[in-house]
Structure 1
C-alpha cells in the first residue's frame, strides 16, 4: 500500500466498512493518535471510527494533498460532518502523518488538527467559554 491507496481508503470508508477491511489496511498494533485519542491496536481504532459514525451525521474525509517519502506520508484532508440533530454542515482541515511497514500496512497514524476552534467552539455551551478565553488571551 502507498499513500494514495490509503487516501482512497479514507475517502471511501463509511459506517458499513467492516473490521476485516481495517485489518487489511492497518497492522494489528497500529498506533493512532489525535487530539482525543492515543491508542494502540486495530480493534481500538475500529471502535473510534464506529463511535464517530454513531455520534456524527454523514462524516467523510476528502484528501487534498499527499506528500510521500519512503515509508512516511503526510495527508492533508478536509473532514465534513454535522452534529446529530443539527442540519448545519461543518468541516475542518487536518493533516495526518502516516507510517507504513515493509508489508505496506499502516503502523502509525497521527492526526494534527485544532480541536478548540474546530469542535469546542461549535458546541453551544462550550463556545461561549472558548470565545471568552480567546478574548482574554488576545487582549
Structure 2
C-alpha cells in the first residue's frame, strides 16, 4: 500500500511537470510501468519519458487540479481537471478536460497508470475539420 505522503508527492510532481522535468518520471514510475489513456498505451519508463517529451513540446502551459485521492490497498483513484494551452490547438487558448486516474502501486512506485477522459474534449474537437464534424454530430444527437 502506498503511503499518503508518497501519493501526495506524485500529485505535486504532476503540478510541476513540464518539458524540462520529464526525466524525473523515473522517480515515481516502476521501470516496467504501463501508462494507458484513450489514445495511447506506453510500456516502460524510457518510452514514457519519450511520450511526455513529445507531448509537452507544444504545451505552453498546463495545470492539474486533483480531488482528494481514494486509496484502496495498492490502488489509488483520483478525479482531476486539467487546463492546458497548446500552440496548435484552439488558437492557443486554454482547453479544460475532466478525467479520472487509476494508479496501481508497487513498492511506492506506480506500476500501472490508467487515465479515463473524453478524447474529443482533450483533442479532437479542437482540430479544425474534426472539431466542426464533432460539433455537428453533437447537435444532431441532441435533437
Flag whether TM exceeds 0.5 (same fold): yes
| Runs of 5+ unmatched residues, structure 2 | none
1:55-79 Cα offsets, whole Å, 9 max, x none, are 2211232223311121110121121
Cα distance in structure 1, aligned partners of 2:49 and 2:22:
9
Structure 2 residue 54 is the aligned partner of structure 1 residue 62? no
Please state whether the residue corresponding to 1:94 is helix, strand or coil.
strand
Q: Provide the aligned C-alpha RMSD in A.
A: 1.7
TM-superposed CA distance for 1:5, in Å, is: 2.1
Match for residue 53 of structure 2?
50
Bigger shift: 2-11 or 33-42? Answer: 2-11
5+ long unaligned stretches in structure 1: none
Give the TM-score taking structure 1 as reference length.
Answer: 0.88
CA distance in 2 between partners of 1:122 and 1:78 (Å): 17
Q: Is residue 2:82 matched to residue 1:79?
A: yes
Q: Match for residue 90 of structure 1?
A: 95
**TM superposition shift of 1:18:** 4.4
Contact persistence 1:99–1:109 (CA under 8 A): yes
Runs of 4+ with >6 A deviation? none
Deviation at 1:41, TM superposition (A): 0.7
TM-score, length basis structure 2? 0.85
After superposition, the C-alpha distances for 1:74-131 in whole angstroms (9 at most, x for unaligned) are 1211212112153411211111000100x21110000000011332112222111112
How do 1:1-139 and structure 2 match up within 5 A?
A: 2-19=6-23, 21-84=24-87, 86-101=91-106, 103-139=107-143
> Which SS does the other structure have where 1:65 is aligned?
coil
